[in-house]
């Protein structure tokens, strides 16, 4: 018999992930402070929860998908939170991207209530959340991972156990550094090529099959060429991840100079009102300085 799942956090990622669990046949109870996606999930067959505590009280497995560490702490540890309703033996899977230290702190509090936790952040953005092909990086007890793996596999094509609690979010920070710097490298190169008078679409097609090719290039360059900055993953969320990466790096005395630079570029875009754009909008920082736009039909920035 399928475990009943509570899903808390139905944003740009959480909503399609919850829908995939419904499609797979899992009984689902959902909660979000925004009632619009809740109603949409209820229309698809989910049960509505009135609070995180109520969701937890009726669930065997609880999934949270929230913006950052403070929100996860509030939902799990706060008044009317998950631990106020969860029964001993409940599995808590936090799929948010938060600081590894926060995952460890929340896990310790959960243990006191007999609740075991996995941190399982994801990569792939909204498109992969919709089609259920996310990459999921999981930290926590291996035996609990094995118990929850079937559920996670509904939402992800690659589900990997990477170590103890906090390891999932450490892996996600590494992922986010690589993605951010890939986008920045793409942006620098393509603005240079475009300013030099070479068609950026032809440059993209010429290099994508070589060593410079990457999943990031193939996902983001077509968006840039179309001038499509509709968010699959917003700049403001990538700023949050990079700040967590820098905080963790500083705690461990690890130098991350390139990460610091791309964070400043993203913060400059936020100051320019572009924080809701997709993170491929990093290119617009370079375009603004060079006064050229990387598009299929070149125009002034």
Strands (E), 9-78: 28-31, 47-48, 61-64
- Asked whether the beta carbons of 100 and 80 are under 8 A apart, the reply is no
**How many Å from the N-terminal Cα to the C-terminal Cα in the chain?**
57
Condensed to tens digits (0 to 9), the pLDDT of residues 145-194 reads: 999 999 999 999 999 999 999 999 999 999 999 999 999 999 999 999 99
Task: Give the C-alpha separation, 59 to 68, whole Å.
Answer: 23
Our measurement of the distance from residue 250's CA atom to the centroid of its chain's CA atoms, rounded to an integer in Å, reads: 22
Non-local CB neighbours of 179 within 8 Å, separated by 6+ positions: 123, 216, 238, 279
Residue 297 pLDDT > 80, yes or no? no
User: What are the residue numbers of the active site?
Assistant: 172
- Predicted confidence at residue 110, as pLDDT, reads 98
Instruction: Using CA atoms of 159, 163, 168, 174 in order, give the dihedral in degrees to the nearest 10.
Output: -100
Q: What share of the chain is helix, strand, coil (3-state, %, to 5)?
A: 55, 15, 30
- In percent, the amount of the chain with pLDDT more than 70 equals 98
Condensed to tens digits (0 to 9), the pLDDT of residues 271-295 reads: 999 999 999 999 999 999 999 999 9
- Asked whether the beta carbons of 225 and 201 are under 8 A apart, the reply is yes
Condensed to tens digits (0 to 9), the pLDDT of residues 30-47 reads: 999 999 999 999 999 999
Condensed to tens digits (0 to 9), the pLDDT of residues 246-266 reads: 999 999 999 999 999 999 999
Non-local CB neighbours of 1 within 8 Å, separated by 6+ positions: none
pTM of the model: 0.91
In the block, which residue shows the tokens 């039909």? 297
Of the candidates 159, 164, 157, the residue with the CA atom closest to the CA atom of residue 142: 164
The model's confidence at residue 125, banded by pLDDT at 50, 70 and 90, is: confident
Of the candidates 79, 242, 220, the residue with the CA atom closest to the CA atom of residue 172: 242
Greater pLDDT, 108 or 232: 108
- In percent, the amount of the chain with pLDDT more than 90 equals 95
Q: How far is CA 257 from CA 32, 245, 254, in A?
A: 37, 12, 10
Residue 298 pLDDT > 60, yes or no? no
Residue 114 pLDDT > 90, yes or no? yes
Of the candidates 147, 283, 169, the residue with the CA atom closest to the CA atom of residue 217: 283
- Predicted confidence at residue 299, as pLDDT, reads 52
Average pLDDT over residues 135-153: 98
- Predicted confidence at residue 301, as pLDDT, reads 54
- Predicted confidence at residue 1, as pLDDT, reads 74
Q: How far is CA 299 from CA 220, 272, 287, in A?
A: 19, 20, 11
As a whole number, the mean pLDDT across the chain is 96
Which phi and psi (to 5°) does residue 153 adopt?
-65, -20
Residues in the chain: 301
- Predicted confidence at residue 118, as pLDDT, reads 98
Task: Give the C-alpha separation, 229 to 234, whole Å.
Answer: 9
Condensed to tens digits (0 to 9), the pLDDT of residues 54-89 reads: 999 999 999 999 999 999 999 999 999 999 999 999
Q: Which domains does the chain have, with CATH numbers?
A: 5-164 (3.40.50.720), 170-290 (1.10.1040.10)
């Amino acid at each position: 018999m399928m475990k009943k799942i509570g899903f808390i956090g139905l944003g740009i990622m959480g909503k399609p992930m919850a829908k995939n669990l419904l499609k797979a046949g899992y009984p689902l109870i959902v909660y979000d402070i925004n009632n619009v996606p809740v109603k949409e999930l209820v229309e698809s067959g989910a049960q509505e929860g009135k609070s995180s505590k109520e969701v937890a009280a009726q669930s065997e497995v609880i999934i949270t998908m929230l913006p950052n560490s403070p929100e996860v702490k509030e939902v799990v540890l706060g008044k009317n939170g998950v631990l106020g309703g969860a029964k001993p033996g409940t599995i808590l899977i936090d799929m948010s991207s938060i600081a590894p230290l926060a995952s460890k702190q929340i896990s310790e509090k959960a243990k006191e209530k007999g609740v075991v936790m996995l941190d399982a952040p994801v990569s792939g953005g909204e498109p992969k959340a919709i089609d259920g092909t996310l990459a999921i990086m999981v930290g926590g007890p291996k035996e609990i991972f094995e118990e929850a793996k079937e559920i996670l596999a509904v939402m992800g094509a690659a589900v990997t156990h990477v170590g103890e609690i906090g390891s999932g979010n450490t892996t996600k920070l590494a992922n986010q550094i690589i993605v951010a710097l890939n986008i920045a490298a793409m942006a620098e190169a393509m603005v240079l090529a475009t300013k030099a008078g070479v068609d950026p679409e032809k440059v993209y097609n010429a290099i994508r099959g070589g060593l410079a090719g990457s999943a990031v290039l193939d996902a983001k360059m077509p968006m840039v060429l179309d001038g499509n900055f509709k968010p699959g993953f917003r700049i403001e969320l990538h700023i949050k991840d990079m700040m967590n990466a820098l905080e963790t790096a500083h705690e461990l005395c690890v130098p991350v100079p390139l990460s610091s630079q791309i964070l400043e570029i993203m913060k400059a875009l936020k100051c320019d009102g572009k924080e809701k754009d997709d993170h491929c909008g990093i290119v617009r920082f370079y375009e603004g300085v060079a006064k050229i736009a990387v598009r299929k039909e070149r125009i002034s920035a």
